[in-house]
Amino acid sequence: MRVLCVAEKPSIAKELARILSGGHFDNRAGKNKFCRNFDFQYRLPPPLGDNRDSEFTVTSVLGHLTETDFLDEFRRWSSCDPFALFDAPVVTQVTSNHRQLERNLQAEARNADMLMIWTDCDREGEHIGHEVVEVCRRVNPGLQVSRARFSAIIPNQIHNACRQANDLDMRMVNAVTVRQVLDLRIGAAFTRLMTLTLQRRMEEEFEKKIISYGPCQFPTLGFVVDQYNRVQSFVPEPFWKIEVMIERFFEDEEEPVQVKFTWGRNHVLDLPIAVLLYEETVNKPTATVVKVETKPTTKRKPYPLTTVELQKAGSRLLGMTPKRVLDLAEKLYQKGFLSYPRTETDEYDPQFDFMSFIQKQTHDNAWSAYAQKLIDGDFERPRMGRKNDKAHPPIHPTAAAINIDTDERRVYEFVTRRFLASCSSDAKGKETSVEIEIAGEYFSASGLIVLERNYLDIYPYDKWAGKKLPDFQLGEQFMPDVCELEKGSTTKPKLLTEADLVGLMDNNGIGTDATIAEHIAKVIEREYVIAKKEGKENFLIPSSLGVGLVEGYNAIGFDRSLSKPHLRRETEHRLELICEGQQTKAEVLSTSVEEYKEVFIKARRDFDTVVNSVTEYLHGQGEVQQASWADDGGSTLAASGATRTAAQRQRINAVARNGRTVRCNCGLEATCGITVSGPNKDRAYRACPNTRNARCGFFEWVNEDGNRPAAERSMVGGGPAPSSGGFGACFNCGGSHWVRDCADVAGESSSRSRGGQGGGGRSLGGGGGGTDACFKCNKLGHWASNCPNA
């Protein structure tokens, strides 16, 4: 009996031959210089064999053999209306650069009795296997076909896969066929529409540039632009909070520790209310301990590792792009050091042999002692996740790694430490919390003592530490050393990192765990997105073209925009239904094509909106700002050129047209903006247009409804106090002074303790070195609530 085995890659073919032959095989040249043919004998038991030695040949392909494309008469861009591509005939054939592989497969298949498919065990691998079958059966129509399924290139799995080979899953094959046809039709139609129109309307910018559309890439770009808009349109809002601190000694320690209590309200946005509450605490400053609680706590060990989590961790912890991480994991898999790295499964089967894999890690000096401890009794079964793709286990090490390069080692180390950590016990600790009451306001502090590190000893990527609290007794009363009214401001969000984007795409069904990294790499390659590295992570900034396209499509007003995840998520769901046998290939193709036809018709009709948006951003009216991409400070207002939604831009333009010319303290014309969050959401404002460090602090709300005074203006810093007779500068009383100097609210800055504590405010009681002075006038003999000088 002659058996032809076909793997997806040359390196896997060689490993299969080595394992199945016990290292004794002949190595022949194939028709392609990269794909060798390996010959040996193997005893295949029933039902596939007859327990006698069979003649085995193992060879390989280089991924997909075939491609789907339009017939020649539709391939030229000027050959037809782009809309016709939704229905144009398509053909699938072996690509020109794979003709040698086709000849090699057919030469080996002519005299074979059985074709055994050894491609990767996922949708794409199933389709590649079907492509191999189609090529081989052209020269041997009666060829018996079987499918070997495995998750790791290790001897026991490979031998079991060979002896228990079954059938190809044609439902998975059909799902990939549908995906290929849809990507071709949708991508080609929209790419031609965008490219030809923009080349005609903006010849100088796009004369030789293809503006490519992909049904996964555009939602990916949309996530990046949406987050960029949030960052650029963010307006910080001030808040105030009461900070309480006491210094207390531990037994047998000479130096006191500072215990900081957090306000139960966290913070308030209204300064007069904050001052009122603060006054109550300084009028009745005695703190009473109302709750002391000590309880055991745990830090849970990580779940078993999936492809998505590997990509996210690789980006955040290893400083690699998701694609780079997956490529390295693939190499380690091909070398037999890792299990198959493309899996959604985060739980192990009950029969999984943990001990054999842990035993292999006792040969690595970096963690051999820890692995031995697990074998000796510290092992605890991994947590059960929520996903099981029924194809592959979670990613785990399959052998001790040798002769691998530095980056491969880093990925291997992360996977191995994650695996050993998942087989460990949770970390255990003791948490103490204390709650105090001052004048009806509640404050709390907590401390942590780690009792058993457990998995943390092998998994340095997780941190768990806390300060030990001194003793507090229920009912105890004391005077805080510090009671302060602190000012803060809301902080703007950060731009997306690659790890953030991987999570968004996974949660929204854009791409699969195996293709997410490719889509991210594609939008960067096409210059729709720019990756800026800070520390270990890449922050993602949309290019001017990327923002222009997304904002243009969003402004058209689709029910389901091309830059949003809804359309592609529905398509991915339908592909899953094909795999489950609930829908047919024809049904999904028809439904999805009709959906995109409707979108295309509306996009073409209103494409001037896209052209105008792209023009605006490329010519500087909406120039993308790339500074401080990782800054999470909250002190900046959105600049006039910042990216905004179309609706926001319309409102800003209306304010600028209809309002008077207003100049800030720098003498510059104030810019207009719209707040996007908080109690003043959607309210128009004017602000100093200077860069952050040069701003004069000018800010005013704009009267849009005619019911408020002409302007409500707040001067929040810098420059001389305004003269009387003009607009009131203080937002609290309307007087001609800075709000920070307003006696009614005792200033906008934090009321810090005096007498050794610094700042303006009041220190309360014991050991703080403070004085019982009024925080409004800083004189003794009265409290702020009845200050005669206010």
CATH superfamily of 307-422: Topoisomerase I, domain 4 (1.10.290.10)
Contact in structure between 325 and 536 (CB atoms under 8 Å): no
Contact in structure between 385 and 347 (CB atoms under 8 Å): yes
Burial 93-117 (b: 16+ CB within 10 A, else e): ebeeebeebbebbbebbeebebbbb
Distance CA 382, CA 379 (A): 9
The structural domains of the chain, with segments of one domain joined by +, span 2-168, 176-233+494-618, 238-301+427-489, 307-422, 646-741
| The pair of three-digit structure tokens given for residue 171, joined into one six-digit string | 């439902």
Write down the pLDDT at residue 681: 54
Write down the pLDDT at residue 687: 73
Distance CA 788, CA 658 (A): 46
Q: What is the DSSP letter of 241?
A: E
Q: Enumerate long-range contacts of 517-520, CB under 8 Å, 24 or more apart.
A: 517/311, 517/321, 517/322, 517/323, 517/325, 517/326, 518/323, 519/214, 519/216, 519/217, 519/220, 520/220, 520/321, 520/322, 520/323
Distance CA 60, CA 38 (A): 10
Write down the pLDDT at residue 737: 43
Angle between helix 123-137 and 99-109 (nearest 10): 60
CA 199 from chain centre, in angstroms, equals 34
Distance CA 26, CA 55 (A): 12
Beta bridge partners of 5: 58, 116
Contact in structure between 397 and 415 (CB atoms under 8 Å): yes
Beta-carbon contacts of residue 670 (< 8 Å; ≥ 6 apart): 662, 663, 664, 686, 687, 688, 689, 698, 700
User: Is the domain 176-233+494-618 a CATH 1.10.460.10 member?
Assistant: yes
Write down the pLDDT at residue 736: 43
Write down the pLDDT at residue 746: 40
Contact in structure between 302 and 418 (CB atoms under 8 Å): yes
Contact in structure between 687 and 696 (CB atoms under 8 Å): no
627, burial (CB in 10 Å: exposed 0-12, middle 13-18, buried 19+): exposed
Write down the pLDDT at residue 5: 98
Distance CA 431, CA 297 (A): 6
Contact in structure between 442 and 264 (CB atoms under 8 Å): yes
User: Is the domain 238-301+427-489 a CATH 3.30.1320.10 member?
Assistant: no
Average pLDDT per 10 consecutive residues for the chain, totaling 790 residues: 95 94 93 93 90 93 95 92 96 95 96 96 94 97 96 92 95 96 96 95 89 94 95 93 92 84 95 94 94 96 96 93 95 93 92 94 94 97 89 93 92 98 97 96 96 96 90 94 93 93 93 90 94 88 95 88 90 94 96 95 95 89 52 33 44 49 71 55 67 58 46 35 35 41 42 32 34 46 50
Active site members = 340
Contact in structure between 711 and 703 (CB atoms under 8 Å): yes
Write down the pLDDT at residue 558: 83
Distance CA 487, CA 749 (A): 6
pTM of the model: 0.75
CA 390 from chain centre, in angstroms, equals 25
CA 196 from chain centre, in angstroms, equals 34
Residue of 426, 405, 409 whose CA lies nearest to 365: 409
Distance CA 170, CA 40 (A): 30
Write down the pLDDT at residue 689: 72
Write down the pLDDT at residue 588: 96
Beta-carbon contacts of residue 154 (< 8 Å; ≥ 6 apart): 19, 336, 398, 399
Distance CA 425, CA 299 (A): 10
User: Is the domain 2-168 a CATH 3.40.50.140 member?
Assistant: yes
